[in-house]
Structure 1
């Protein structure tokens, strides 16, 4: 009986230690008037992860983040109005997100980093490379959009009457896990809808000015069009392209991916490590 009690006590201590470690992982930094949430995992060359729209760092990168942290110093952020990072009274834009990430790296005394962005985070990553080229070592552009016609026909029309009901349940749950505030969830949704409705093309001139080596990653269906990813890879001066089968973010195990046991994230990790190390 004593042994059983001691065993249970050890389990409880271990559980509390893990919870405490998780709580200590996340931090906040004051950047451009925003109290931005970020987490740092691992060590080595800095790698910034920027989540997609309507997402958190966990819902976008939860599958691959632990593996990336084995070989990199991962700085995973949550942008304005997303996850742990509350909204503030200022416009939400990809340009502002880019400036916030740059300010965070300055706060952390990181002069140069690899940048990986998924979906909206990929567009933000492009803006970082355009507006703050000095801080970018290499780019991983996962399902990144830079022209409106890069999405399937009718995509932008869907935002005209969009309501929170259309948001995937998995993304809602991920937000509420980070911030259990239904009003914050609605605010994030409204902000992202407004940003996408007002999205304008990034000029080819700006894309061609990006000198950082880039890995363009895309899905084959139900997301950014493969032809758009091909165009982006050809417009960037130093880019490589890989297209995975499946829908939006399935190749990296994004939380809404239908196959939770897919091996594609393992293949992506191999490609990422080879790209960043060469």
Structure 2
């Protein structure tokens, strides 16, 4: 667990994208010379500037080095988990820039094999989403965060539900969108329809190709569809149905009515089975409501988290 000085360091993080910072291990992370340099810089910044900074770092978690980014100066920690093959920078740019950083400290993570958490190359065990949940919660433990709320998009929403079910004493609130607890035959037909990225629009492909290159992304996206097929074949489509019923955290479910990947059936199921949950529908929203309508999304989520 980080010492008190490290916690102060994280919460007021300045932007740090230098190679020496990105490659620091756990011991170097506590390097007093680095803290001295940071404190000197922090003393010269205005409050708003300090809160706008982003710390980019890697930490050893369950045998892999997970990349994460932190920003904000608030007491309420918020963990942001990306969707399939997503990363802090492809999925949460709007939140990292414009979310309320006075009341919240944001922690965005790249799951193993995604974004800058490579190596390792992503592999796909049957319960890969359960493994992602174990990883992110171990990161939270290592950061010394005792209470955290979760924002999870798509696969990240599934990971968030699993984490909330398994760690009710740690997860304060849960916000999910584009997520589902099970997979249907019709869902699989949609996924197989987008398995080959040549069928994607250039706008949809471009961020992933920039991040991974075509070879890695093409192979891993195909693997992702196969991994969901395994949930369908080997678990009868059950991703996390039992976990959903165990969630006790106050939960907000957001859904874009024009979502081509996740039909209304799924948020309706979650709303019915997560006790006390709220469902907010965005009539013109698609799968990426937080990116298409960031002002409305951020306002909605900030209000929910403050209640």
TM-score category (smaller protein): 0.7 to 0.9
Shift of the 246–196 alpha-carbon distance from structure 1 to 2, 3 Å rule, reads farther
Count of residue pairs the alignment pairs up: 248
Instruction: State how far apart, in whole Å, the 2-side matches of 1:150 and 1:190 are.
Output: 17
The secondary structure found in structure 2 opposite 1:267 is helix
1:267 counterpart (292, 296, 307): 296
Is residue 40 of structure 1 aligned with residue 70 of structure 2? Answer: yes
Instruction: State how far apart, in whole Å, the 2-side matches of 1:270 and 1:150 are.
Output: 36
The secondary structure found in structure 1 opposite 2:220 is helix
Deviations 1:166-225 (A, max 9, x none): 45544544345445x544334532442232222332454431211111000111022311
Corresponding residue number in structure 1 for 2:278: 240
Corresponding residue number in structure 2 for 1:29: 59
Mark the runs of 5 or more structure 1 residues left unpaired by the alignment: 1-18, 258-263
Shift of the 33–248 alpha-carbon distance from structure 1 to 2, 3 Å rule, reads farther
Corresponding residue number in structure 1 for 2:181: 146
1:108 counterpart (136, 143, 147): 143
| Structure with more contact order per residue of length (Cα contacts < 8 Å, sep ≥ 6) | 1
Shift of the 96–217 alpha-carbon distance from structure 1 to 2, 3 Å rule, reads same
Deviation for aligned residue 1:267: 1.4
Deviation for aligned residue 1:89: 7.2
Instruction: State how far apart, in whole Å, the 2-side matches of 1:20 and 1:270 are.
Output: 24
Shift of the 173–190 alpha-carbon distance from structure 1 to 2, 3 Å rule, reads same
Report the TM-score when normalising by structure 2.
0.72
Is residue 212 of structure 1 aligned with residue 249 of structure 2? Answer: yes
8 A contact 2:190–2:261 mirrored in 1: no
Is residue 174 of structure 1 aligned with residue 212 of structure 2? Answer: no
Corresponding residue number in structure 2 for 1:15: none
Shift of the 89–123 alpha-carbon distance from structure 1 to 2, 3 Å rule, reads closer
Corresponding residue number in structure 1 for 2:261: 223
8 A contact 2:162–2:244 mirrored in 1: no
Q: How does 1:63-78 map to 2 (within 5 A)?
A: 63-70=94-101, 71-78=103-110
Instruction: State how far apart, in whole Å, the 2-side matches of 1:91 and 1:153 are.
Output: 17
1:165 counterpart (187, 190, 198): 198
Deviation for aligned residue 1:113: 0.3
Shift of the 252–151 alpha-carbon distance from structure 1 to 2, 3 Å rule, reads farther
**Greater Cα shift, 229-238 or 83-92:** 83-92
Deviation for aligned residue 1:20: 6.8
1:189 counterpart (221, 233, 236): 221
The secondary structure found in structure 2 opposite 1:198 is helix
The secondary structure found in structure 1 opposite 2:94 is coil
